[in-house]
Structure 1
Amino acid sequence: MSNEYPSTLISNLIASLDLNDYEDIPTGKLVLLDPKTKAPTSSFIELASPEHESRKRIDLARTRRLRAEFANNGKIQQTDPIDDFNEETDYLVAATLGWNLTQGGQPLSFSASAARTLYEDPKKKWLRAQALDGLNKTQLFIKDSAKS
């Protein structure tokens, strides 16, 4: 095998992906999974992408705060786990833009307050975990823009 860079195989793989066929989008639809069977359901949560203003504002503020702490004393301050939970909840609430959830057989109206209540409910940790995981699923925030 030659030391040619990049390899022919890699070149062929790269050549088959047209960057114009995909684009980042500001929101994504996280399909919720049944917490026991892991089967997809018809329920979803609409999440803000990392580039959406609601998430970007919080991410940049957090980065500025951490940089300032490090610049002041050369280390990152240890935080209380309760503060971490509350900060994570604030982030989830800001990143949740809507849903089609039901509770007790009735549609659950979306609001920031309702999102906070769900994400803080100790009996709904599975929902919180899926939403947190969804925020890191980059494929949720990429649209196939290829023309058919």
Structure 2
Amino acid sequence: MGWGSAGIKIFDPVARALIDAGTDPQTREDVLADIIEALQNEDWDTQQDSLDLFLNDPPTVAAFARHGITHPDHETAQPAPPPASDDCGCGHDHWKWKCAKEAGGCGYASPFSSRDKDDALAALNAHREDCTVWQATVSERAQRTTGTEPPR
């Protein structure tokens, strides 16, 4: 039998505290990955529920991914990889992002490209802060999963 309360009692509050404290992304990812590993070793079985609450935090998503836990919709919410050929000839990759409807977003796709994947992801996350469709989806997932409001 698995350990269902590990997310609500341990992982979710620690992840929220790290985010609220402004912990740098790499440190947050490393700390959360260590916690995920420890909880998995204790038979944590509600990992997906915790991931669902933090889909808008790339370091938390990356920490889960280190341990093979991904969200099926989250892949579509990430910036698309650059095309195989650089059509403009400028010599660098182009990253675009989309607030994908299939991931609970509004469907808006940025007409602009970013040179860096992290910049594109930051632009997506900035958009999601004001996207009422995305916020409603996150809130609904949180309420369905834990009966509480989503972390902010």
Using structure 1 for the length normalisation, give the TM-score: 0.24
Q: Larger RCO: Structure 1 or Structure 2 (Cα < 8 Å, ≥ 6 residues apart)? A: 1
Q: TM-score, normalised by structure 2?
A: 0.23
Higher Rg of the two aligned structures: 1
More helix as a share of residues: 2
Instruction: Give the structure with the higher percent strand.
Output: 1
